[in-house]
Structure 1
Amino acid sequence: MTQTALITGASRGLGAALAKALAPTHHIIAVGKTVGALEELDDTIQAAGGQATLAPMDITIDAAMQQLCRGIFDRWGKLDVWLHTAVHAAPLAPAGHIGPKDLAKSISVNIDATARLISYVAPLLGQTGQAVFFDDPRGGEQFFGAYGATKAAQIALARSWQAETTKTGPKVHILTPAPMPTATRARFHPGEDRAALTDPNAEAARLLPAILG
């Protein structure tokens, strides 16, 4: 039976790298907002002999996520792996000057969408599937108020789910990737020497045993 991997945030960075790393063994369901980037990912996967289903969707749109998960159930009946790499990186700002729209979008993407996705994806994963979240501990760092608080809340949700499913499944992993030259990091560290950072494809290969373990 075909193994399936849902990757939310698959357009670029670690999400795209993980999609390519899993493609030899899984049918990739790639979710992202950037159609061109998803098409490039699909070309790469197909060139390597893999298969992907592209889902150019916004994870904050509830109806779209319901449709996505219903489509997965109708086609495959289940899901083997879910990797959640989607995140909103709000502009850095002092805590007293965080823009209301930036905070609202951070909450919508990093917390609300994650909570809904857990409720929709959990039945597809069942007892034997695996869910993977990626920590980026910034809570309490100066100027990281919006991102740090909402990313911490996202991981808190994942940790609760992890504790609740220890005996019943699915298995929930929380991994902390090495710093990579992604668009998110570039927003936080402009002018950084990117040559010293870990290539996303290399990091995906390093994380893969933990994801599939």
Structure 2
Amino acid sequence: MEKTAEKTALVTGASRGLGAAIAEALAPSHHIIAVARTTGALEELDDRIRARGGAATLAPMDIAVEPAMQQLVSSIAGRWGGIDLWVHTAIHAAPLGPTAHLDEKDWQKSLDTNVTATRRLIGLVEPLLLARGGTAAFFDDPRAGEKFFGHYGATKAAQIALATSWQAETTKTGPRVLLLAPAPMPTATRARFFPGEDRAPLASPIDEAARLLPELTA
């Protein structure tokens, strides 16, 4: 199969929030490979991308399932040869609770999605990025040490630690790794953490995507 030279962006966690907004913002210049577990939300994203004249490949998958991610990466390599950008916004946000009483299933899912899957994806996606001189982007949300944030705070911090190590290791060799800090947004994840919060002062995901886009595509 002949590989195409069009710019490609892999967005993991593309169904809603910042991931969906970045996918839409990139659509005019990149073919979007959108990964998320929710098929309906991906289809809605596809409609919005098409309305902007873009195109997307939908991958309704769980990033924590290793064979699915291996198959995805193989398919991307076969069709495009590599990717220009990987935007990683996928996260599991377990309910808040006291550290001494964290739910075991939620703890394991947080580890599987936020840490193990990220570590695995870095290894799988790196060759795709190197093939195009590409960029990977991660998004910090520092909650480690905050009360009741045991699940999320610990595993999100571990995810960012992995990304930071990868960034330091690839400064000279590539790929370029970005660690970005979005402004607070009225996402579903934040609503779980701060129910009843006044969401009016929060930045919209669309505005944050527009603000971050120049750095992502530099």
For the criterion TM > 0.5, the same-fold answer is: yes
Which of 176, 180, 188 is matched with 2:181 structurally?
A: 176
State the partner residue of 1:125: 129
State the partner residue of 1:199: 204
Which of 3, 7, 12 is matched with 2:11 structurally?
A: 7
Match status 1:33 vs 2:37: yes
Which of 143, 151, 166 is matched with 2:148 structurally?
A: 143
**Which residue identity is paired with 1:179?**
P
State the partner residue of 1:70: 74
Q: How many residues align structurally?
A: 213
Match status 1:209 vs 2:214: yes
Q: What secondary structure is seen at the aligned counterpart in 2 of 1:126?
A: helix
1:95-120 CA-to-partner distances (Å, cap 9, x unmatched) read 11111111101000000000000000
State the partner residue of 2:118: 114
User: Mind listing any 5+ residue stretches in structure 1 that lack a counterpart?
Assistant: none
**Which residue identity is paired with 1:123?**
P
1:153-202 CA-to-partner distances (Å, cap 9, x unmatched) read 00000000000000000000000100001000000000011111111000
Q: More deviation in 19-28 or 125-134? A: 125-134
Which of 90, 95, 118 is matched with 1:91 structurally?
A: 95
Output the CA distance in 2 between the equivalents of 1:38 and 1:102.
Answer: 24
1:50-80 CA-to-partner distances (Å, cap 9, x unmatched) read 0000000000100000000000000000111
Q: What secondary structure is seen at the aligned counterpart in 2 of 1:195?
A: coil
Identity %: 68
Output the CA distance in 1 between the equivalents of 2:203 and 2:51.
Answer: 24
**Which residue identity is paired with 2:170?**
T
Match status 1:161 vs 2:166: yes
**Which residue identity is paired with 2:109?**
K
**Which residue identity is paired with 1:185?**
R
Output the CA distance in 1 between the equivalents of 2:124 and 2:179.
Answer: 19
